[in-house]
Structure 1
Amino acid sequence: MARRHVPVVRDYNISREDSLSSDGFEELGPRSMLPNSRHVRYVVDGEVPDVLYTLNHVGVNRRFLGRLRSSKPFQNVTTYEIRQHETDEDGELVKKPIFEIVTTVCIEGRPDDHRRMVHPRRAAPQIDRPLTAAFENIDYRSDGYYTDEEQYVDPAGSPVADAPLMVIYSEHLINALRAVVRYYPTVSLNGKTVSISAPYRMLYHHRHELLEYRDNQPEAHSVEYAGTTVKHIDTLLKFLDESLGDEITKEEELHKLESPMATFQYFWLLLKPGNVIYTKKYDIWTPLVISSVSGGNRHLNSSDSYRINCWLLESNGTKVGRFMESYVVNPWPGEQDISTLSVVPAAFWKEDLAAQGGVEMRQKLIAEGKLYWELLKRPTYMEYEGLLVNSGSGNRLPGGPTGFMNGRVICDASGFDKFFDTAPDWEGRRYPHPTRRRVTQSIPNKDHLPQYLPRCGCAVCTEDRPQEHNGPYNGFEDLDPLCDTPPDSDIFFHVLSKTIPGFILGTRRWGNLHVANLSPVKADKEAFKYLVLDDDIKMTVKALIGQYSTGVDGQITPWGNDFVRNKGEGRIFLLHGAPGVGKTCTAECIAELTNRPLISLTSGDLSVDAFRVENNLSYFLELGQRYGALVLLDEADVYLERRRAKNISRNGLVSVFLRALEYYRGVLFLTTNRVRSFDTAFLSRIHVALHYKNLSDEDRERIWTHNFDRLNRDSHGRIRVATAARQFIWSSHEVRALKWNGREIRNAMQTALALAESDSNEEGLPTITIGEKHVRAVVKMSKGFKDYIKSEMPLGSDDADYDGDGDDDVVHGEDF
């Protein structure tokens, strides 16, 4: 009886052999479910073939209707009909085929039968997330808990075929697979049978290993066992060759080209679980280990995308473990250069030694992984030069600062886990935020890593050599960098995360750092020598601070109990004087001299609200203690002013600040130019007060000279200052009349350098020369601006709070 439906066939690349007749078929009748395999006969024409082909027909809700069997492959499986229904005969199996190819076709259903079977939703459990996910405002939840399953019927009511399923019965073949498959999470080899869906990717991935095993079986195998294993492996390999052999050969020839190519249909050949791929995460080429691959199947004239589930190793703040990722590769027409794809197998990476620091990509990434592991052990003071990692994605805002950065950072994964959530609110800060919901992202379920190396599972081999916990990924989970030893495995370091959270000292914010851009700190020990200060002040500061110098390897030395226990364990310096006389520069030079981090704060970091000041100041002082940093509070006037009876808000602010200083442990610098307005309660908290006089002409000449020397040193001779420019600076009445302070001299140098660099670029010169005309231009601009300000400023509006030279206010270096 003719069918009413137009056949719909999914091309899963099964055999090309025709088998259009139904001769030799065994026709079986319906059951409510597929019969138990113990009671199914595998006999065709009186015997059990090595390879049995079975065609199952099912209806709505997968109700079993009947079965056809053959020793030859089926062609156009949706065109076969079951003419009669017979039940299977019960009975224990005496013999089974080596493997069976089962194809299931749904032949019942009309358009009105197509309906959704919606399962009740239940919340997916929140799972552990990598540390850097905090930047993304994401909660990770396990995949597969939100299910909207559809009844297996084509919307048009046409027959639809499942992908053929290979069921392996041969113990010899299963044991051979156990001996060669190292890691393939989607296929279980532990049962009495092994089931693999077409196009049998696991088998194609291991066909060369099976050939090697066939010819080099364990010595414990008997001659009979080894002979049967050879026969069964040959039968399987012959089947694979007849199924896709020609196509696979053509594809592998593309892989051998000078610029290796691949087609989308067979790209899965390069995606073997356990292999490493490179793909861009946060716009950084990141190595991951393939766990499983789905999709990539052809449907009529189209193909669905590949979904590649993979994992990398990263810290969650306390321990290192595996975290799953999922990437999609969309179809492409024809052949594509493998190195240009969004996912590149590591074996086909196109090396760029110039961009990779002169080493191969794999060695570069292994070195970065080892650095990441070391950075997890303790906070580490480092230099950073390069782009910050943009952890945002999609429509979400960037997770943390982005763009190019050249400055000092402290890599601190455990500190990030502790301090990031309580950091002061910044403009544009996304996480945590009380009014913004987090994004929930489903990730693949974590697979189980193999505990053992692959080996034959026969009784003789099992008795001959007991298994040990020596799997290829042993020791990859739940590692504590403080006390655990990492596995002696290159792949462990290869796929360790290449980004780490760090505290950016210049902006006082947490950022995501690319470890490739990190380098050891090169402290400028000469900076303090060039600092233009009274010799008495320099000697006092150096004597008091020199004992706190640290090593030069970037290791952090937290402030400990080396002062006095309980209250007042720190040392607080007050630096006061006119703007630009070296107060801030003193703290910066001392940080270089002692090789300690400098956390430089302003009122913008702390706020002026008493409650927020207390929280923010405690936050930064705690960081200063953790990192053994020098803390500089620049222009601290607003927190140091004397309290007044009618200003309760001001009084609260000062009281909060006093309390914070009372219990601070570490070195703190306060700078101000309004010491006359101080609250007297601060006097007992300040250990050393240093007064900075206004600069003399001789001081300015020394500052100019130091700037010239540093410019020449840092540029390695590429930048020079013309003699005429120097003479103009020393002798010009115009320059002296401006009475520039140290900051203004530095700004003038930078402006003159910019003008000289522009001229040099226009003339195509290899060196930059700062000439007299450049300095004159800067002097003219500065004089014009100061004259304008003086003419517009009301009489008597100068800052009367500043002490001027004020030598009688505070004695140099007086110790309170």
Structure 2
Amino acid sequence: LMVLKQEAERRERILADRRRVASKWRPKIPQVRKVNFENFKNRFQDVDEPDYAIDVLMGGPTTQAQIRREHGQRRREEIARLRQSYLSLKNNGSGSSQNKIDAYEKARRERKGDVLQSSENEIQRIRIQSQPVLGHLTALMNDTDQRSTPRTFMRPFKALVHFQPKMKEILATLEEKWGDFEELDSDQSEAVELSAGEEVDIEPEVLEADDMGSAKGEGEGEEDDDASDTESLESVDSNADEDFEGLMDSPEALRDMRCYVEFIDNEVIPLHSRFDGTGAEKVKFDDLWSLFRVGDLIYMPASGETGGRYHEVWRIYKTRAPDPETSYPTTGWDFFEDEHQVNENSKFKISAYYIDHDGSNFGAVQRKFEIESFVGERSIESLEVFPIRYRHNHQQLLQSLKQQGRKFMEYLEDRHQQYSAWTLTRNPPSAQTEPDDEILDDQEYQKMRHPEFVESDLIVDLTEAYQKMPDWMPRFHQLTMNKSIRCEIKDDEMQIQHWFNGSRGTLAYTQSEIIQHADGVETRQRRDNLAADSFLRYRIKGSRTFETDPKALELRDEDLVLLPKRMFAYALRERRFWPIDLNFLKPVRREPGVFENLRIQSDYKDVVRGLVMSHFQKKALERKYADIATEGPSQDLIQGKGRGLVVLLHGVPGVGKTATAEAVAMENKKPLFVITCGDLGLTPHEVESSLKNVFRLAHLWDCVLLLDEADVFLSQRSKLDMKRNALVSVFLRVLEYYNGLLFLTTNRVGTIDEAFKSRIHLSLYYPPLDKTQTREIFRLNIAKLKEIESERSRMTGEPALVIKEGDIIDFATKHYEELARSTGCWNGRQIRSAFQIASSLAIHDYSNQAALAHSRGQRAPVAPVLDRTWFEKVQMSTQSFDRHMKKESGAYDAEMPLRNTFYEGRFE
């Protein structure tokens, strides 16, 4: 009995293998079968009936419960079979058998899976069972391993969507070749269909196990028979696989491909294309690959915090969806976990970039985004990052960003600008490991936790900024073209079960199923994008395109939106580099006729203009020599010396010394770089280092350099003060090789060291203002005040200040005549201050009178009035201060220079 039982089991195994091979190679029904999970994993039709070309798992809210139920059902069936086998062996010796096993019978009597519910309307998995379709699809994927085994693709069906155009081309080729065969009758069609029955026939002796088994010893030869039978079946399977190429080019292939292409076009592509526009408002985690397309712009709202994240737009160059989950819940608490919670680390990853500049070239700065898995649907706009097309008024934002990008390009060339705004504190987000890595260090290498307000002329210079602060430089990401394509399949733990008699009673055989774990689509998309994205294509690692194609350095119009609003610039007033917002940069205001409005001697104007013009012409010529790597001739015996222009302006304060340097810079459209002795340090080493750096920057940016109040460096050397001697010597040596335009101002000309006389090209004395200059300066300030008041009135709607010009000029004349020989009349700076104070007092008085009239019900004044009265009040306050100074020092301001012998009192 034991031998007969073993022989019967062997025959059952052979029959099961035969059915498995026959089912695998039997032509499929060219239709799509949509089922729930139980029917997806079980076959209840006759075992000799062909399978469908495509099986589709339709999912819904109950899918996870179905998976758990199926897993539990299989465990119970396996336990029942083991018990049946055990009891059969146990009862063989006693001659009795147990025909009823409650658990087993219960499992057998369970009916087959439920029909599809109305809620199960989402495609979750697609199993392709047609060998021709699998052959063509796996060939396109370059993954022909186990290409004849049924293969399941998980949502979002990347490979099916990506290769659909090529599958259509293959279908068109098959239509052209085999389309006429559709007119054949069914008999002829069966003859053409590769004679599948003949291909999978098994040798009769494999199935006809004779009775010799009973004559052998118990179990004798069984292993040899099994091995022989298995080899025979494998040979049949192998022979069929060898004719696979013929199967892919046949009428059967045409019918199956029609079914496949139509199904993908009608039911799978719409799942992907519904995210083409903005019609879809919500998205599931499994559909994020369809939402985020390689090459698309993505948007992350800026932080509203001061000094927070500000960059908003990136371009995708790669996406990475989590690999499909191929395991099933077992026992314990995992059995009740949701599928998205089984693998908590599964994330949808996006690799994107923005464009930045490293001082020489543009490059891509990488930024990686990760979206945690979530259950159900989420609003697209609630995601941390989403395609920019879903942002409200995204076209308006793109136009704004393009304009910002054009400014970025412009300021790389036109570097001298004005700025009045807060600084930035961080770089755009990139592939940093810590959020704090985005925060920039200041020049003391401390994190910029808070922005600073800067109001100054700026020089935009990324190269110099990165040399000063290397950590500010963006780290460019260079992509490689030779990324290998990763295709990987995994066996599904839950095999397909084929049953007899349409119920889960008797198992005919099981069939393995593989899941497409990795399909290489994302790598292919990355490659395609590198070919389409000219910015990245020119910047592939190892590319030499920059050397052969000048256009590689240019940005397309659509690339401008990726440029940051952050630039680095040197603030001339603060004398340091700052990260600034380019949207607040403005052109430097140029006063028309600034040199004509300068109230200095006309001879001085002509001399200064002539020297400055000649100097800048020589500088332009030097740059031409530099372009051809040649040094031009020089009047100095030693090359490199004496190419600068040094002008000394000396005189009492407020008579136009600084204004002269400002006028020269403005008229020649050059930046004015102002430094003082305190900016350079106190020790010779500090002074030398600072001077060299300042002179280098001034020369690089073609600045007009003004060293204001340069008394310390110009003073005479003495035997008693070695520190001062060292400072003067350092200044003399560095000055010798400076080839830019330098203005020195001082009111202590009597103490200048003899060595400076030969190094100063022009020395101009500015005497105190005379009556004519005083009146002209008053008129100039009146004109400026009228312009200011007109603009104030236009902006606020309040009446402009009424200025009584004649009355004020009379005051100026009287003021000069009364004070010129006593305490001294106002200088230019004091006159400007007097106008600011007097106009403020007049407007304040007007406001008080208007409020008083309103409270009394009287008519208010028409407008504020500025006349000499207010200037007389200002004069009274200044005279009070002058008298106090005389009491303390024993002399008025005008007498101090003569007392200290800093002047000779006249210009010679």
1:50 pairs, out of 40, 54, 66, with: 54
2:743 pairs, out of 663, 669, 676, with: 669
Partner residue in 2 for 1:722: 802
Q: Please tell me whether the aligned partners of residues 574 and 669 of structure 1 are also in contact (alpha carbons under 8 angstroms).
A: yes
Aligned partners of 1:298 and 1:770: how far apart in 2?
77
Trace 1:248-267 onto structure 2 (pairs within 5 A). Answer: 255-256=278-279, 262=282
Partner residue in 2 for 1:418: 467
Aligned partners of 1:562 and 1:289: how far apart in 2?
52
Deviations 1:446-483 (CA, angstroms, capped at 9, x unpaired): 655799xxxxxxxxxxxxxxx99942345442786995
- Secondary structure (helix, strand or coil) at the match of 2:649 reads strand
Query: CA 1:81–1:375 in 2, change beyond 3 Å: closer, same or farther?
Result: farther
1:749 pairs, out of 835, 855, 860, with: 835
Partner residue in 2 for 1:502: 569
Aligned partners of 1:558 and 1:368: how far apart in 2?
36
Instruction: Give how far 1:615 is off.
Output: 0.8
Partner residue in 1 for 2:333: none
Q: Please tell me whether the aligned partners of residues 339 and 350 of structure 1 are also in contact (alpha carbons under 8 angstroms).
A: no
Q: Please tell me whether the aligned partners of residues 786 and 803 of structure 2 are also in contact (alpha carbons under 8 angstroms).
A: no
Q: Please tell me whether the aligned partners of residues 273 and 290 of structure 1 are also in contact (alpha carbons under 8 angstroms).
A: yes
**What amino acid maps onto 1:200 in structure 2?**
P
TM-score, normalization by structure 2: 0.56
Partner residue in 2 for 1:314: 356
Q: Please tell me whether the aligned partners of residues 384 and 406 of structure 1 are also in contact (alpha carbons under 8 angstroms).
A: yes
Deviations 1:136-183 (CA, angstroms, capped at 9, x unpaired): xxxxxxxxxxxxxxxxxxxxxxxxxxxx9989999979988999xxxx
Trace 1:345-356 onto structure 2 (pairs within 5 A). Answer: 345-351=387-393
Aligned partners of 1:221 and 1:366: how far apart in 2?
48
Instruction: Give how far 1:216 is off.
Output: 8.3
Query: CA 1:278–1:23 in 2, change beyond 3 Å: closer, same or farther?
Result: closer
Moved more, 16-25 or 524-533: 16-25
Instruction: Give how far 1:391 is off.
Output: 2.2
Aligned partners of 2:310 and 2:135: how far apart in 1?
41
- Secondary structure (helix, strand or coil) at the match of 1:528 reads coil
1:361 pairs, out of 397, 405, 417, with: 397
Aligned partners of 2:723 and 2:837: how far apart in 1?
42
1:324 pairs, out of 361, 366, 371, with: 366
**What amino acid maps onto 1:369 in structure 2?**
G
Structure 2: segments with no counterpart, 5+ residues: 1-32, 58-62, 82-123, 178-252, 323-338, 428-434, 484-527, 618-622, 794-799, 852-859
Aligned partners of 2:897 and 2:834: how far apart in 1?
25
Instruction: Give how far 1:602 is off.
Output: 1.3
**What amino acid maps onto 1:345 in structure 2?**
P
The question of 1:275 aligning with 2:296 is answered: yes
Q: Please tell me whether the aligned partners of residues 756 and 768 of structure 1 are also in contact (alpha carbons under 8 angstroms).
A: no
1:532 pairs, out of 585, 596, 599, with: 599
1:489 pairs, out of 546, 553, 556, with: 556
**What amino acid maps onto 2:572 in structure 1?**
L
2:759 pairs, out of 682, 685, 689, with: 685
Instruction: Give how far 1:493 is off.
Output: 2.6
Query: CA 1:758–1:412 in 2, change beyond 3 Å: closer, same or farther?
Result: farther
Q: Please tell me whether the aligned partners of residues 573 and 670 of structure 1 are also in contact (alpha carbons under 8 angstroms).
A: yes
Partner residue in 2 for 1:288: 314
- Secondary structure (helix, strand or coil) at the match of 2:366 reads strand
The question of 1:516 aligning with 2:583 is answered: yes
1:771 pairs, out of 866, 872, 879, with: 866
Aligned partners of 2:680 and 2:604: how far apart in 1?
29
Aligned partners of 1:627 and 1:373: how far apart in 2?
18
**What amino acid maps onto 1:526 in structure 2?**
G
Deviations 1:612-655 (CA, angstroms, capped at 9, x unpaired): 11111101101111111111111111111111222222111111
Q: Please tell me whether the aligned partners of residues 675 and 802 of structure 1 are also in contact (alpha carbons under 8 angstroms).
A: no
Deviations 1:77-107 (CA, angstroms, capped at 9, x unpaired): 7656567699xxxxxxxxxxxxxxxxxxxxx
Trace 1:526-605 onto structure 2 (pairs within 5 A). Answer: 526-547=593-614, 564=635, 565-605=639-679
Partner residue in 2 for 1:139: none
Q: Please tell me whether the aligned partners of residues 369 and 496 of structure 1 are also in contact (alpha carbons under 8 angstroms).
A: yes
Partner residue in 1 for 2:431: none
- Secondary structure (helix, strand or coil) at the match of 2:459 reads strand
Instruction: Give how far 1:690 is off.
Output: 0.8
- Secondary structure (helix, strand or coil) at the match of 2:568 reads strand
Aligned partners of 1:487 and 1:178: how far apart in 2?
39
Q: Please tell me whether the aligned partners of residues 782 and 805 of structure 2 are also in contact (alpha carbons under 8 angstroms).
A: no
The question of 1:477 aligning with 2:519 is answered: no
Q: Please tell me whether the aligned partners of residues 138 and 144 of structure 2 are also in contact (alpha carbons under 8 angstroms).
A: no
TM-score, normalization by structure 1: 0.62
Query: CA 1:330–1:688 in 2, change beyond 3 Å: closer, same or farther?
Result: farther
Larger helix fraction of residues = 2
- Secondary structure (helix, strand or coil) at the match of 1:289 reads strand
Partner residue in 2 for 1:372: 408
Partner residue in 2 for 1:648: 722
Trace 1:431-446 onto structure 2 (pairs within 5 A). Answer: none
Q: Please tell me whether the aligned partners of residues 311 and 323 of structure 1 are also in contact (alpha carbons under 8 angstroms).
A: yes
- Secondary structure (helix, strand or coil) at the match of 1:704 reads helix
Structure 1: segments with no counterpart, 5+ residues: 1-14, 27-42, 54-69, 87-163, 180-188, 353-358, 422-430, 433-437, 452-466, 551-555
Query: CA 1:480–1:317 in 2, change beyond 3 Å: closer, same or farther?
Result: farther
Q: Please tell me whether the aligned partners of residues 172 and 229 of structure 1 are also in contact (alpha carbons under 8 angstroms).
A: yes
Q: Please tell me whether the aligned partners of residues 363 and 477 of structure 2 are also in contact (alpha carbons under 8 angstroms).
A: no
- Secondary structure (helix, strand or coil) at the match of 1:581 reads coil
Instruction: Give how far 1:609 is off.
Output: 1.6
Greater gyration radius: 2
Query: CA 1:305–1:649 in 2, change beyond 3 Å: closer, same or farther?
Result: farther
Aligned partners of 1:289 and 1:688: how far apart in 2?
58
The question of 1:391 aligning with 2:391 is answered: no
Query: CA 1:304–1:583 in 2, change beyond 3 Å: closer, same or farther?
Result: farther
Aligned partners of 2:847 and 2:378: how far apart in 1?
42
Question: Over aligned residue pairs, what C-alpha RMSD do you find?
Answer: 5.6
Identity within the alignment, % = 22
Deviations 1:705-727 (CA, angstroms, capped at 9, x unpaired): 21222343466654655234762
Aligned partners of 1:769 and 1:804: how far apart in 2?
44
Aligned partners of 1:488 and 1:713: how far apart in 2?
43
Partner residue in 2 for 1:19: 37
Q: Please tell me whether the aligned partners of residues 38 and 66 of structure 2 are also in contact (alpha carbons under 8 angstroms).
A: no
Query: CA 1:803–1:734 in 2, change beyond 3 Å: closer, same or farther?
Result: closer
- Secondary structure (helix, strand or coil) at the match of 2:567 reads strand
Aligned partners of 2:891 and 2:359: how far apart in 1?
57
Deviations 1:345-389 (CA, angstroms, capped at 9, x unpaired): 32133339xxxxxx933233234334434554x573334454433
Instruction: Give how far 1:686 is off.
Output: 0.6
Query: CA 1:678–1:307 in 2, change beyond 3 Å: closer, same or farther?
Result: farther
Partner residue in 1 for 2:94: none
Instruction: Give how far 1:688 is off.
Output: 0.5
2:777 pairs, out of 690, 699, 703, with: 703
Q: Please tell me whether the aligned partners of residues 691 and 810 of structure 1 are also in contact (alpha carbons under 8 angstroms).
A: no
**What amino acid maps onto 1:649 in structure 2?**
K
Aligned partners of 1:681 and 1:218: how far apart in 2?
93
Aligned partners of 1:176 and 1:289: how far apart in 2?
30
Query: CA 1:687–1:777 in 2, change beyond 3 Å: closer, same or farther?
Result: same
Trace 1:128-139 onto structure 2 (pairs within 5 A). Answer: none
Aligned partners of 2:319 and 2:786: how far apart in 1?
57
Aligned partners of 1:178 and 1:584: how far apart in 2?
79
1:635 pairs, out of 709, 717, 742, with: 709
User: Aligned residue pairs: how many?
Assistant: 625
Q: Please tell me whether the aligned partners of residues 293 and 307 of structure 1 are also in contact (alpha carbons under 8 angstroms).
A: yes
Moved more, 384-393 or 565-574: 384-393
2:260 pairs, out of 211, 232, 236, with: 232
